Every structure is written in C-alpha cells, then in structure tokens.
Structure 1
Amino acid sequence: MEKAPHLPTYAAAHAASLADSSAFWAGQARQLHWFRPPPEPVLSQEETTGFYRWFRGGQLNTAYLCLDYHVAHGRGEQTALIYDSPVTSTVRRYSYRELLDLTARFAGGLRGLGVAQGDRVIIYMPNMPEAVVAMLACARLGAVHSVVFGGFAPHELAVRIDDARPQVIVCASAGMEFDRPIPYKPLVDAAIAQATYQPAHVVVLQREFVTAELQPGRDLDFRELLQADPVEAVPLDATDPLYILYTSGTTGKPKGVVRDHGGHAVALKYSMSAIYGLRPGETIFTGSDIGWAVGHTYIVYGPLLHGCTSVLFEGKPVRTPDAGTFWRLVADHKVSIVSTAPTAIRAIKKEDPNGLLARQYDLSTLRYLFLAGERCDPATYHWAEQVLGVPVVDHWWQTESGWPMAASLVGLAEMPPARAGSAGHPVPGYDVQILDEAGLPVPANTTGLVAVKLPLPPGGLATLWQDDARCQRSYFATFPGYYLAGDGGYRDEEGYVFIMGRIDDVMNVAGHRLSTGQMEELLAAHPAVAECAVLGIADELRGQRPVGLVVLKDGQTIAEDTLERELVQTIRAKIGAVACFRQVLIVKRLPKTRSGKILRKTMRQLADGDAFAVPSTIDDPLILDEIRERLVGRGIGIAFETPPQFLPGGEGL
C-alpha cells in the first residue's frame, strides 16, 4: 500500500517519542474520546514504588471507546466481529451496534451478581463471541478480567483463582479440539475444588455439543445474564486496571501482568495505524487465542478501538479442515492484515510444503503477514513471502509490553524494510538497547541482554497483581533505569534488532510461555528421581519443546520408558497438553558449575547445535560429551560429524 505523503517518517516519529515522550504521547491521546482529558505532562512517577504512570487524572472507558463511540459516530451497522468456527461449522457477523447491546446487557447481568468496579472476573473460554462480550462487559463496569487459556489444567486455573480472587468465573461448557469436544466445566469444578479462594458464581455458556451440569445456587446460564437491562460505561481513571494476564515465571508461580485503561488504549490505537497500516473499516485476522496477549491486543481491543473489523477464529491452522484454512479466511472476509505465530506458518508449511492450497483462494486484499510470539526462522519467513506474495513482517513483543517493541512499521513513511531473522527497528516510545552483564551498551553485532530504557511507553505493564516488589525485582532491579526483557539479542550496524531467545528458564512452546522450573519441580517429585533439568530445545514446528533429563536415586532400577510414561502423564495432568512434554532421558549426572548451578543453557545450546562457551566454572567438561551422546542416541540432539564449536572462556548468555 502506498503511504500517504502526510505520514511522519519512522526516524522522526521515533526521535520525537524519545526526545519528549510526554508531549509525543499527549498528542496520540488526543485521538481518543476522554470523559476527562488527562492534564499535561501526561507522564508521572509514583513516589512509593518509582513506577511510571501515564495519563494520571484522565478518565475514559475502554469498552466505550471500542463500542459506544463508534455507534455514536456512524459505524453502528459496520461489522465489528466475524466469528468463523470451522470446528462447529459456524460463521456469524456482529455489527458494532449488536456487540454493544450484548456487552451492555451482559455487564448488567454481572452487576446483578454483585460485580463492581475493581472486582475480578476470570474468563475460561475458547475463541468465541461470548468471550469477547465478557471481556468488554468487565471493562464497561471497571471490573478486572483475567482470561485463562482453555488448555490449562485445573491446577493452573486454581493457582490463578487464588491469586486473582475472582467474584465470578465465566466459562464455556466445552471447547473443540479439531473434531473432538473438550468439556471445560469439569476442569473449572476441579480447579475450584483445589483452590483456597471460592468464587461466588460460575457463569456457563452452554454449547450445543456438550451440556454442563450446573450447581444450584452457584452456577448460572450465560444467556440468563443477557436478559438483564443494559448498563452504561463507567468513567474510569486512566490508571485503573483493565485486565490481569498471567505469564510464566522462572519459579513456576505465574506473574499477573496488570494493564491499565488509559495507556493501553492510547498505545493500541496508535499501533493499529503506525505499525499495521490499517484504516478504520478494514479487516484484520489475528490467528491467536484470547488467552494470550496477542489475542487480547489484536483480536479484541486494538481492532475495535480503531473501528476495524476483527476475525475471531475458532480452529487450528491445519486440519480444520486443512492447511488452507487461514487463506480461506482471507478470501472469505477480505482480510487486509494477517497476524499469527511462526508456529502456525510452520504447521501449514509442513502439510502444504509447496503452498498449493494458497493458490485456491483470492488473496488480493492481503497486504502484509505479521509474525509474533517467537523468533521466525528465515526459512519460514521466505516460504511465507513466496507463497503469499506479500511482505512478511516479524515483530517482537511480550505479555509484559502488551504491544510490539520492535517492528517494521508499515504505516510510517521511510521505514527500513523488513529483514528475515530480524524483528525490525524499535517502535516509537521504546529505547531498545543491548547491554552486557555490567549493564553497559555493547557494540553493534555483539550479543547481549535486551533492555529498554525507562520510561516504558504507554501500554506496558503497570505492575504485577498485588506484588509491586516482585515486579521491581523481576524487571527493573537488574539494571536500574531499564526494563530487562529477559531475551538475548543484538543490533546490527543499521539498527535492526535481532532477538535470539530467552536468557532465563522460561521457554516458548508454540507461543505459550512455560516455566522449566515448574516442570522440574513436578519431575523431582517422582520417587525415583534424584535431580533433573528441563531443556527447551529447538523444534521446527513449535519453536521450542521441553525435554527432561533426570538422574535416578541410588538403587532405583526403573526402566526409562516406564519413567518417561509416568512423568509425561504428571506434566499433562498438572500443566496440560499445551506443554508438549513427551521425552525423558535418564542420565548419570548433570553438568554443573562448581557452585552447583546446573548448566541448562549450555545443554540446550549443545542439543540445538549452537556455538557456545564452556563455562570456566564447570566442574567436569566431560559431562557435556556424555549428555550429547544421550541426546543424539534418542534422536534429540544434533549428530555432529565434528565436535560442536566450543568458544573459549565465560558463560556467555
């Protein structure tokens, strides 16, 4: 798409956002309707925590901006949401007016259950319109929603119930996995039984293919709440919390990232035009789940804030019914932008390597394919570019940031083109730097720790739910004045950002951030296991997948296949099938530093065939050879014709 000449250049926009961030974002805030505009300067800092806050003193409501505003300004009959569900053979369209009516009525139903501003509501549903209605209804009331991905096991849901302490849980009776229903209500009941905190009500959307049993006095039918009188949007402070979204921590205890109303709305409104180049009225399809940050941001809030049409897809990129499903969506709904994870494209490529299915559909409306959630390998990048005939844009962001930190912003003029292997350039508002372990900037093309100089722009995490201290410790304490992203990477001479992977013990499995520490805790609980390590190794389809290495207790003779079967079942029961945990190897010992630190990253690099530095503090380098032989023997590691490249000195990243 040819850019309009009046658009600012990328260089000018990024420079202005760093030179006077308050003035830059005050200008963007004027693109929204405020019940009470924020006073300038729009950036402030809390005295007690030191955390930065945006638009303090301003009042607005995210649901109002997503729905009421558009109905009042002529978009009432425009399609807001297209629900396309090949797993249930359903396609439904909702206008902005219809979505507003459903949201206002469900908000009235929640209010009738006692839900008020500041109360929490957990939403445990697949991608379906009622889930979007529930999210927006919470925002309308000022209640704080927390969407939990439907694939998580009861234990994971119970942990989130105890942390968020919701007044209400909203769930579906079931989800659909390809052509097999997955009952959700028994999982919710099991989670409540495990949780210490007990919600007052469970609201259940009954689906045609599975009817859930309702507990009298506690459980209600979703459709009953839709009979309530509609309620108006509540004016909320810009700094009031909009939602909690849990992301894995290295300890296994999830971190509840808190997003506020004001900064979130301003950032997403800006991103829709600047990053994605979308105009109001155009259509975006985001191939994600509402349980992820990507789903929150670019299935629900971003498109609706901008007056776009959003495609809500219940299905998979393959086998629903085939690997052409995404391309059918583009053709059927005249999609301009597709955003999904590299995992989805790799799955499509695996089943349709020559891209023949894409040729069956009219993709003339498609302008760009955006990829996020994990680093996209160049082979997948080039394959998608050739098959679709449009530019592919890999971009980088996190649950914590809430929107992209690096991208090729197709809505700005004179933007350097996207480049395979790179996440692009820092988005306006983000001062992305690569630091060494002392917190000092490193030269171009030198791998280091990816950090963002404070303040973060609007839309980033406000704090962690009920835990300012953990927020400070997790993200800001390592390098004062910086947000530590937890990723390693580098920038080249032209300023392109390359994100190379996690530096902690959190892995990315098909877009799910999962804690290796949590898995290790479960493996170590087995009576035969003395110690263990879980590695997130490279996987062509999922980005990463976990492999367990265990050392048996003395005298234990359990067979490896028996132990593997038992441990796989444990992970599946406690975390869920989303972990993709399938392989366990018994090893004689694990490589460690002399201080006892298990060298997980070194083993992961060994399995992936990456060059790495043998830590100078390793207690016995020969253990690495033993680990490599075990990995290769099980078909996991790289079978090197020559030994892997050991780099001299230091532990590296």
Structure 2
Amino acid sequence: MPHRVAELRTAREFTDPDDYWAWVAGRQRWSTPWHTVRTGGIEDARYFEGGRINVADNCVDRWAEDPATADRPAVVWEGEPGDTRTLSYAQLAREVSALAAGLLGLGVRRGDVVAIYLPNLVEAFTAIQACNRIGAVYTVLFSGFGEEAVASRLLASRAAAVVVADASYRRGKRVELLATLRAARTRAPDLRVTVVVDRTGDRAALEPGEHAYAAVLEAGRDGTPCVPLDPNDPSFLIFTSGTESRPKGVVHSVGGFLLGTWANAHWQVGYEPDDVYWVAADVGWLTFPIQAVVGGLALGMTVACYEGALDTPSNARFYEICEKHRVTKVLAAPTLIRMLRKFGLSEDHPLPALKLLTAQGEPFDTDTFDWATEAFGVPVVNAYGQTETGSTWAYPVYGVEPIKPGSVGTAVPGHGFEIVDEDGRPVPPGVKGNLVLTRPFPTLARTVWDDHARYLSTYFARFPGRYATNDEAVLDHDGHLWVLGRADDVINVAAHRISTMEIEAVVTAHPAVVEAAVVGIPDETKGTVPVAFVTLRPGTEDTGEVRAELDRRVTAEMGGYARLAAIYPTPALPKTRTGKTMRRLLRDLLVHGSPTGDTSAMEDPAALDTVRTALGPLVPERGGGAQP
C-alpha cells in the first residue's frame, strides 16, 4: 500500500498537531471556510472558528451527488430473522432528507434533543443523519435499556423527540421497545414527539403524539437542505455508565466529531475499492457512530449492519453474514473474537474476502490475538480509545505499521500522551503508570450535558492541564503502548500494585479457559486479593485440576503476591451488548450481594443470576461481605 505509506509519512511530518488537523479539515466539504484552526487548551479547545459545516452533507450528500458514488451501496443491512435491505448513497440521501423535513414539520428544531431508541436498523443511520442535517442533538439509547434507564436518560437529556422501533429481534425473541418507551415517557416532561418505526410489520396502533416513520417520510418527501453549523456546536450526547448511579451525558461537537472520526476510520481501516465494512457492534456503543454512521460514511464506504445476536440461530451466524455480504473488514470487541474462538468454526468458514480484523473496547489478550491472526489469516489491529475521546487514537495504521500482539501500537497523528506516576511525573519505558492525554484534539468531549463542573472535575482535576483516561498503561522500549485496563482495576495486594488484566491474560492462556474476569475484593490481612471468574471450554469438567493449574500458572508467571484467592467457574459472565464484561458487577456480588451501580447497560440480566447460582452461599446478604 505505497499510497498509504506516503500519506501517513506526510501526516506524521506535521510537528504542530493543529497543522495536521488543518490537513484533515481540508478533506471535508465546508459551506463556509474557517479562519483559525484552534483556540483554547485541552480543557476548553474550540476548532475551526468562523467555519460552517454539516455532518450529513459530508457523510451522505457529497457521495450521492457524485455520479461515480451515487449508486454505491451505503448501508447493507440484515435482520436477525434473515430479512435484508440495501440503500445506495443516492437512496440514503433521499430518505435522510425526507426524514429531516418530516421532523421539522413535527416541530423539531435546531438544538432540540432527539433520542434514538433503536436496534441496529437502517433507520438508525437515517435518524442520526437527519438530526445532523437540521442541527438537532441526538442521543442513542441502547435498545436493551429497560423502562428506568430510558426514563432517566429522556429526563436528563431533556429530549423533545424520540425515534423508536415497535420492537426488535434478539436471540429469536421480540424485544418490545415501544411498550417500554410508553411506560417511560410519562417521566419525560419535555418529550413532545414520538416517531415509530414499524420493524415487525405489525402496524401497532399509535397513541396521541406518536407518528409512523413512513408517514413522517411521506410528509417530508420534498426534503430540506443541510443547515450550516458551527463546528463547535453540540452534535450529540452519549451517556456513559460506570460505578456511579448517575450516568454522565458526554457531549461531542459537530465538526470535531466529523473530522476525528473521518481520520479514525481512514487510518484504522481505510477505504479500498469494493470494501464492505462491518462494525459488529450495537449502535448504542459509540464505536458504531464513530466507525459506521459517521466515520465510515464520511469515507464513502459500504457499511454492513446486523440487527441481532451473533449466536442466533446458530454459532455460525458471524461467518454466514461475512460470506453472504462479502465482508472485507470487520471491527469487533475482543470478547466477540473470544466467542468465535470458543465456537471453533473458522476452519469451516475460511472467508477469502476478509482483509482486516480490528478490535477495540477492552484489553485484547495475546492468546486470542494470536488465534485470530492464524484463524483468519489477515492483519489484526488492536485499537484504543474511549467514549470521551470520541475516537480511537492509538493503533498500528492498517497496512503500514508493525503489529505487536496485545499492544495498541502508537499514537496516530494529532494526538499526544504521557504515562505518569501518582504525582503526575512521566515514568520511563517499561514502568506502569497513569495514561494521560497532553494535547487537545477535535473529537475530545467538550462537556458533560448540563454539568460542566462535573466534566472538569472528572477528567482534568487529577492531573491539571492533561486529560486523565483513568487507565493504566506501559510504554515498551520500542515505543509501543500497552493499555493494561482501568486504574480502578489495579489492585493493591500487600503493597504490590497488580493489574487484574495482567492476571486475566495468564488465566485465559490456559487451553481449557474460554474467558476470564479477575476482580479484587477486600481482605483483612492483605487489604485486597484477586479472585477469578472463569468460563471453561465446552466439555471441560470442573474437577478441581484446572483450577489448581491456573493457580500454579499465575503464581509462577507473576509471583506469589498475585496468587488467586479463589477461582469460580461459571457458564456465563455479565456483559454489555457490545461484549464488554461488567467486572464491577462481579465484585459487587461477592462484596455486597447485589449490584451497587448502574446496571442498565447489561444485555442479559440472567447472566448475573447464573453467576450468583455458581457462587451459591458465597453471595452475601446485601450489605454484608464474603470471604474467598
């Protein structure tokens, strides 16, 4: 790929990050040119002052207007039952414009918040881009949310409108989204408009204030032009969940998110002729807007989208989708790749069209990385970013830079970082520390919705003048970055600091283990001790021998201070729909007897019950404690 080598060399030659972002800005279409690249620092940066731009214009219209790309498929969609739909860029542009006009006709205005309560449907693309077109601020609600989670986010965002499907399909069952919304919206006083997508074909009877998606399209059939927007205007907000019971609505900007996601998709996956790019994730995970709805379309790519679970109706569904749609590039969470390894079907499905597998969202153990490289026979790119950073910013550039299994490569152009100790002083290569970002960049979140003080205290108070990722990392002697996991997943055992992710890497390297989650729990003598939850391969019996071997491996490879206080085999682990293991819930089960924080992102609550059953009497009464 000599053209990418030359292009990356050019990008890395910019010594000033602002010059690099000006280069990226020059690859977008502006309605009004900007005059200043950046003002302010990392806590209050503004980009491209004086300019006006529209995300939908860059993601949809510019490709629809070009005869060479107008008929290129923009979205190739498949539902869990097997139904399919494909929209070209020209068709996508017409539907986006009609929906935008229809929303205006319903009273949705620039700056209004529109909630997108949809599964992975074509309408998720059209609704997001319709909001982009008219300057409405969208917020995607995870389609697995229940009534309380939906109500709290509608209230917190002050949503004026919501686009919802009547239902979705997940593991062969209907998930009743409209019914959930109706129960929740009584606590959302600002909500005026509901647009209902007839996903199932049941034509649900509509209540006052509800409008059929098809009728809204018809009412807006004449379309509406893109609204030129200040690149620093809010584009969308996404709620992050964590140890706090009150989720944060992180706000990203119009131009910043567009430019950053264009650059992200450009370097991480690139566009090549005849590409079909599948982001195997839920639209509720920011990765999907970054890589598919905005970044992928901004590159003019053909984006594949799948509604359901990848083990339904069989474990071969992932491979069948790749084969059917001739997918060339896939992005997935490492947990999904571990699931594919567990299924063991790669030899039966060689996937000759596949060119790239890229992963992000959680630490990627080297054992699974090596398996994926051998099983698929393509480059495997491990990337790192966060909801707050609005894109991944560290990874080996596809087709150009060297890959180290488990590493996230180096920072891509336009970004700067340090690894520092508890006092904020940089540490040398090979020493673990706190990962901080040292330079502003366009996709960095600008605030927390309705609570800027919380934004400043959460991300900038600990290390003033730098953004705290709250992750631990180490830089190796070749300059490659290794992200070890959340700083709050680093436990202190008898004065030894240990990353639970490091222990997990040792545990999952055992051939009998499919996946593992290690958490720290209180101990009267050592302060904290690590315990492991493990899922064993099908057919592996828990005779005690595997647990003994895991204990020996951890002690031999990491030292006696890392000895596992307990190992709990369980057939399932609680996960978000995006595939991230919710380790804090496991810790809560052992320490408190039940979850103490936000659980709304959990895909299958039954998984927590499965763990509870596996623990048996070790689960304490609420408020109690457990000994390993």
> What SS is found at the alignment partner of 1:404?
strand
**In the alignment, what sits opposite 1:79?**
73
SS in 1 for 2:488: coil
The residue number in structure 2 matching 1:428 is: 413
Q: 1:281: how far off?
A: 5.5
* Distance in 2 of aligned mates of 1:313 and 1:337: 14
Letter in 2 for 1:7: A
User: What is the distance in 2 between the residues matched to 1:72 and 1:8?
Assistant: 26
- CA 1:170–1:36 in 2, change beyond 3 Å: closer, same or farther? same
Structure 1 residues 419 and 210 mapped into 2: Cα distance closer, same or farther (>3 Å)? farther
Structure 1 distance, partners of 2:50, 2:531, is: 44
Structure 1 residues 130 and 56: CA distance shift in structure 2, 3 A: same
In 2, distance between residues paired with 1:266 and 1:122? Answer: 23
Contact 2:101 2:223 in 1 (8 A): yes
State the shift of 1:210 in Å.
5.0
Do the aligned partners of residues 51 and 358 (structure 1) sit closer, same or farther apart at CA in structure 2, a change above 3 Å counting? same
Report deviation, 1:230.
Answer: 0.9
Q: Secondary structure at the match of 1:7?
A: helix
Separation (CA, whole Å) in 2 of partners of 1:9 and 1:305: 19
Equivalent-residue separation in structure 2 for 1:470 and 1:351 (angstroms): 43
Letter in 2 for 1:4: H
Deviation per residue, 1:101-133 (Å, 9 max, x gap):
111111111001111111110010100011211
Pair 1:255–1:536, CA change in 2 (3 A)? farther
Partner letter of residue 79 of structure 1? P
- For residue 408 of structure 1, what is the amino acid of its counterpart? P
- 1:408-447 aligned at under 5 Å gives the runs 408-410=396-398, 413=400, 415=401, 417-447=402-432
Partner of 1:453: 438
Instruction: Write the distance in 1 (CA, Å) between the matches of 2:390 and 2:422.
Output: 26
Offset of residue 232 of structure 1: 0.9
- Closer/same/farther in 2, CA of residues 539 and 374 from structure 1, 3 Å limit: farther
> In the superposition, relative to structure 1, how do residues 505 and 205 fare at CA in structure 2: closer, same or farther (>3 Å)?
farther
CA contact 2:43–2:465 (8 Å) conserved in 1: no
CA contact (8 A) 1:168 1:200 kept: yes
The reply on whether 1:258 has 2:258 as its aligned counterpart is no
Distance 1:589 1:299, change over 3 A: closer
Using the alignment, how far apart are the partners of 1:450 and 1:539 within structure 2?
Answer: 28
Same amino acid, percent of matched pairs? 31
- The answer to whether the Cα contact below 8 Å between 1:446 and 1:491 also exists between their aligned partners in 2 is yes
- The CA distance in 1 between the partners of 2:336 and 2:324, in whole Å, is 19
For 2:184 and 2:489, how far apart are their aligned partners in 1? Answer: 26
- Contact residue 245 and residue 597 of structure 2 kept, 8 A: no
State the distance in 1 between where 2:158 and 2:23 align: 37
What is the aligned partner in structure 2 of residue 343 from structure 1? 335
The AA in structure 2 aligned to 1:178 is R
Q: Which residue of 2 aligns with 1:109?
A: 102
What is the aligned partner in structure 1 of residue 386 from structure 2?
Answer: 398
2:18/2:414 contact within 8 Å kept: no
| Matches for 1:576-587 after TM superposition, within 5 Å | 577-578=603-604, 580-582=607-609, 583-584=611-612, 585-587=618-620
In structure 2, C-alpha distance between the alignment counterparts of 1:70 and 1:434, rounded to whole Å: 41
User: Could you tell me which amino acid in structure 1 is paired with residue 627 of structure 2?
Assistant: I
- Between 337-346 and 247-256, the greater mean CA deviation after superposition: 247-256
Q: Which residue is equivalent to 2:538?
A: none
Report deviation, 1:334: 2.7
Q: 1:536 to 1:209 in 2, by over 3 A?
A: farther
Tell whether 2:214 aligns with 1:223.
yes
Aligned residue type for 1:32:
Q
Q: For residue 45 of structure 1, what is the aligned residue in structure 2?
A: 40
Matched, 1:493 2:487: no
Matched, 1:367 2:355: yes
Q: Give runs of aligned pairs for residues 171-250 of structure 1, distance below 5 A.
A: 171-193=164-186, 195-208=187-200, 211-216=203-208, 218-227=209-218, 228=220, 229-250=222-243
Structure 2 gaps of 5+ residues are 491-499, 502-518, 520-527, 536-572, 574-579, 613-617
Selected match of 2:141 from 142, 148, 157? 148
Q: Which runs of 5+ in 1 are unaligned?
A: 509-515, 517-532, 553-563, 592-622, 629-653
Distance between the aligned counterparts of 1:365 and 1:196, measured in 2?
47
Aligned-residue offset at 1:465: 1.3
Question: What amino acid maps onto 1:488 in structure 2?
Answer: E
What does 1:523-534 correspond to in 2, within 5 Å? none
Change (3 A) 1:64 1:89: same
Residues 5, 26 of structure 1: alpha-carbon distance in 2 compared, 3 angstrom cutoff: closer
Q: Secondary structure, in 3 states, of the residue corresponding to 1:459?
A: coil
1:35 pairs with 2:34: no
Deviation sequence 1:397-434 (CA, Å, 0-9, x none): 111111112101125x4x2x111121111121221211
- The match for 2:541 is none
Q: Distance in 2 between matches of 1:94 and 1:255?
A: 34
2:16 aligned partner: 20
Aligned partner of 2:459 in structure 1 is: 475
Q: Shift in Å at residue 72 of structure 1? A: 1.7
* 2:319 corresponds to 1:331: no
Alpha-carbon distance, 1:504 to partner: 3.4
1:587-598 superposed matches below 5 A: 587=620
Q: Which amino acid aligns with 1:490?
A: V
Cα deviations by residue, 1:2-27 (Å, 9 ceiling, x for unpaired): 333762446x63462xx311111111
Contact 1:318 1:347 (C-alpha < 8 Å) held by counterparts? no
Cα 1:536/1:113, change in 2 over 3 Å:
farther
1:108-147 equivalence runs, <5 A: 108-147=101-140
What do the CA deviations read for 1:55-84 (whole angstroms, capped 9, x no partner)? Answer: 122101000111111122221111111012
Deviations 1:141-173 (A, max 9, x none): 000010111111211111111111111111001
Supply the distance in 1 between the matched residues of 2:531 and 2:46 (Cα, whole angstroms).
Answer: 35
Measured at CA, do residues 237 and 280 of structure 1 come closer, stay the same or move farther in structure 2, by a change above 3 Å? farther
C-alpha separation in 2, matches of 1:197 and 1:286? 35
Structure 2: distance between partners of 1:114 and 1:536: 54
Which residue number in structure 2 is paired with residue 285 of structure 1? Answer: 278
Are the equivalent residues in 1 in contact too, given 2:99–2:130 (CA < 8 A)?
yes
| More displaced stretch, 96-105 vs 277-286 | 277-286
Q: Distance in 2 between matches of 1:588 and 1:115?
A: 49
In 1, the alpha carbon distance for the partners of 2:277 and 2:163 equals: 26
**Distance across 1 between alignment mates of 2:267 and 2:2:** 11
Task: Report the residue type matching 2:110 in the other structure.
Answer: Q
Preserved CA contact (<8 Å) 1:67 1:100: yes
Query: One-letter code of the match for 1:473?
Result: S
Shift of 1:462: 1.8
Given residue 52 of structure 1, which amino acid in structure 2 is its aligned partner? Answer: A
Moved more, 580-589 or 119-128: 580-589
Q: Is the alpha carbon distance of 1:575 and 1:428 closer, same or farther for their aligned partners in structure 2, counting shifts above 3 Å?
A: closer
* Corresponding residue pairs, total: 539
- RMSD between aligned residues: 2.9
TM-score with structure 2 length normalisation?
0.80
Q: Deviations along 1:580-621, whole A, 9 cap, x unmatched?
A: 433454459999xxxxxxxxxxxxxxxxxxxxxxxxxxxxxx
Cα distance, 1:446–1:5 mapped onto 2, change above 3 Å: closer
Tell me the distance in 2 between the aligned counterparts of 1:339 and 1:574. Answer: 24
Cα separation, 1, equivalents of 2:88 and 2:267: 25
TM-score (norm 1): 0.77
Measured against aligned partners, the alpha-carbon deviations of 1:463-503 in whole angstroms (never above 9, x if no partner) come to: 21122111111111111121101111111111111111112
